[in-house]
Amino acid sequence: MSTEGNRALVFMRKKRRKKKQEGYLLMIVPNEKGKIKSVNIPYLVFISFFVIMTINVYYLVRYPFRISEIWKLEYHILELRQTIAKQDKELRRLDPCLKATQVMASKLNSSNRFFVDMKLEYDKLRNTRTKEKDLAYREVYLPGYRLSSADQDHSKLEILNSNLSYLEEELAFTSSALDDLFKNYKTYDRQLDFIPTIWPLARDRRISSGFGYRRHPVHKRVILHQGIDIPSRTGTPVRATAEGQVTIAGNRGGYGLLVEINHGNGYRTRYGHNSRLAVRVGQKVKKGQIIAYVGNTGTSTGPHVHYEVRLNNVPVDPRPYLN
């Protein structure tokens, strides 16, 4: 190594030592008598002291601002707590709503059961066999949920929503099914207007002679009695037992003064032995309309109406048709 290099190294070491020794002298001077005390504070310690002081001052100044921020936050937390309490209370109200959906489901189930009963009755009326699938009623089943369980309120809302949409669908199904059945009933009701289901006399229900083979009271022979005899006082109104058109209105031998009505679908009814007629041939009559008055005309032993139901021109027992 050269002497030049050595000299430079020595110089640098001296400079560093000098720097280390640099600093400040803290002097404590008593205001009266006494010795002046002095402490040497190294440069590094002095600088550190100032840095620490500056940091402290910074925090000291910042502190009041932080405090006010904390106050604001505390107030906000209080507000949030109140909101949560309010929402909590509202969520508790979901319980009765959920219960209501369960009640609705059970009501819908009884409606569906009622629908099946109605369908059965309808099929019985129409003399049609009820299909197996129609006998099983559509059961509304809401997902199991216990109100007492500590379920999450959030999921309660989900359950409520799903229950409501499910019930909406089921209600639509039930009401459309009932609608269809109602339409069928209405159609059947109209068809019933053309089927002889009422008694020809409003009050008299006693049958003195039924349908079938019997010994004729006048001819004294066993012959088929083609209808039923209902005795009544002369002049009692005779009613059309179904809607239709008059095909006979006049004297017909043993029948006496006879009315015959064509109801369509192969049905005709006859009313014999009348004292007086109230309709003409070709006239359209409603179910229950007065067509004649009870009498004793033709082959008869006393005032009565001889009532016949004919299906495709064959006399049938009117009894099963009367309600």
We find the least distance from the C-beta atom of residue 299 to Zn ion, in angstroms, to be 9
Considering only residues 279-318, where is the footprint of Zn ion by CB under 5 A? 306
Residue nearest to Zn ion (CB): 306
Q: 60: which 2 tokens?
A: 């000291």
Residues of this chain, 215-244, that bind Zn ion according to CB under 5 A? 229
To which residue do tokens 């109100």 refer?
A: 147
Total of chain residues touching Zn ion, rule CB under 5 A: 2
In angstroms, give the least distance from the CB of 170 to Zn ion. Answer: 56
Total length of the chain: 323
- Return the residues of window 119-158 that contact Zn ion according to CB under 5 A: none
- Nearest distance in Å: CB 273, Zn ion: 8
Ramachandran class of 28: left when φ > 0, alpha when ψ lies in -120 to 50, beta otherwise = beta
Minimum gap (Å) between residue 237 Cβ and Zn ion: 19
Give how far Cα 85 sits from Cα of 81, 82, 91, Å.
6, 5, 10
Q: How far is the CB of 254 from Zn ion (least distance, A)?
A: 9
Q: Which of 235, 214, 234, 233 is nearest to 224 (CA)?
A: 214
The distance of closest approach from Cβ of residue 293 to Zn ion in the complex, given in angstroms and rounded to an integer, is 17
Stretch 180-219: interaction string toward Zn ion, x if CB under 5 A: ----------------------------------------
Burial bucket for residue 293 (CB in 10 Å: 0-12, 13-18, 19+): buried
Q: Which two tokens stand for residue 193?
A: 């207007």
Query: Cα dihedral angle (246, 252, 254, 255), rounded to 10 degrees?
Result: 20
The smaller minimum CB distance to Zn ion, of residues 253 and 282, is found at 253
Q: Give me the DSSP letters along 131-157.
A: PHHHHS-----PPP--TTS---HHHHH
In this complex, which beta carbon is closest to Zn ion, that of residue 119 or of residue 306? 306
C-beta of 108 vs 305, nearer to Zn ion: 305
Kindly tell me which of 170 and 229 has the beta carbon lying closer to Zn ion.
229
Cβ-based nearer residue to Zn ion, 177 or 294: 294
| 264, β-bridge pairs | 267
268 contacts Zn ion (rule: CB under 5 A):
no
Q: Which is nearer to Zn ion, 20 or 215 (CB)?
A: 215
- Interaction site with Zn ion (CB under 5 A): 229, 306
